[in-house]
Amino acid sequence: MKIKFEKYESGGNDFVLIDDRNNLYDLNSDKIKTICDRNFGIGSDGLIILKKSKIADFKMIYYNSNGQTSSLCGNGTRCLFSFSLSLGINKKIAKIETSEGIYTATISNRNLVSLKMKNIYNIHLFDNKAYLNSGSPHHVEMIDDLNKISVKNLGSSIRFSNRYSPDGTNVNFFNKINDKKFEIRTYERGVEDETLSCGTGATAVAIAAHAMRLTNQSEIIIKTKGGELIISFETSKKGYKNIYLEGPTRFVFKGEY
């Protein structure tokens, strides 16, 4: 059977999106892995299936490029929202059912796609590093010169380390440009390589930087290799609330596989 798809990206973080509200497709792990393969398939960091939902406007099922389901993908969720707009499912705001709960996406006053993230209360700080869950687990580490490291090698060693066994973690290396702006490079588990952008990673770095007292700003620009994302938040006695991940999304092309 031919599979109709569209491809979107945010900061070079790219996704194959499939509308399966009518339950037409039976995609197993091997098929998804092949579709995401950049040599033998369409090529993407992940594949997202849009399904009907009984508790939200629609349901998101997210697969990493290794063919396995994963936790929240911030950029992928924002791309799926843009996809849903093109399908006429909703107008400018949507409740999205994900594996991590229901998330709300909308068009911001900057005409960017904004996703409200879950509150973050547990941040583990150690040795000028941090570990937190921003929808997906993230190790955050400050590096003086991001251009002098192998993100794949160093990221992999941390991702598979005993500290994060057995499930592993995403890994973010960052440095400070100024109080308002930080630069990051991200190793994503499931992709098992560096990606050009990561929404939950950008969120994790912004929150961690504030928790590490590297900034007192409540709106932070995160510069990724693929573009910029904006993270805003409020502090509370418990931690961080009203967290928003904001940035552009772009339709790339559509076709049949």
The pLDDT of residue 90 is: 84
* Residues 6+ away with beta carbon under 8 Å from 115: 74, 77, 78, 81, 103, 104, 105, 199, 244, 245, 246
Q: Structure tokens of 254? A: 């559509």
**pTM score, two decimals?**
0.95
Task: For residue range 67-100, list pLDDT tens digits in order.
Answer: 999 899 999 999 999 999 999 998 889 999 999 9
The pLDDT of residue 27 is: 94
Whether residue 138 is predicted with pLDDT greater than 90 in this model: the reply is yes
Tokens 């499912």 -> residue = 89
Strand partners, 130: 125, 140
Question: Among 73, 80, 207, 231, which one carries the catalytic annotation?
Answer: 73
d(CA 78, CA 68): 20
- Asked, as a colleague might, if the bond just before 166 is cis with ω within 30 of 0, I would say yes
Domains and CATH numbers, the chain: 4-107 (3.10.310.10), 123-247 (3.10.310.10)
| Type and span of the H or E element at 140 | strand 137-142
The pLDDT of residue 116 is: 98
The pLDDT of residue 1 is: 86
d(CA 165, CA 158): 10
Task: For residue range 168-220, list pLDDT tens digits in order.
Answer: 999 999 999 999 999 999 999 999 999 999 999 999 999 999 999 999 999 99
Question: Among 120, 198, 214, 230, which one carries the catalytic annotation?
Answer: 198
**% of the chain with per-residue pLDDT over 90:** 97
Annotated active-site residue 73? The verdict is yes
The pLDDT of residue 95 is: 97
The pLDDT of residue 135 is: 95
Task: For residue range 18-68, list pLDDT tens digits in order.
Answer: 999 999 999 999 999 999 999 999 999 999 999 999 999 999 999 999 999
The pLDDT of residue 230 is: 98
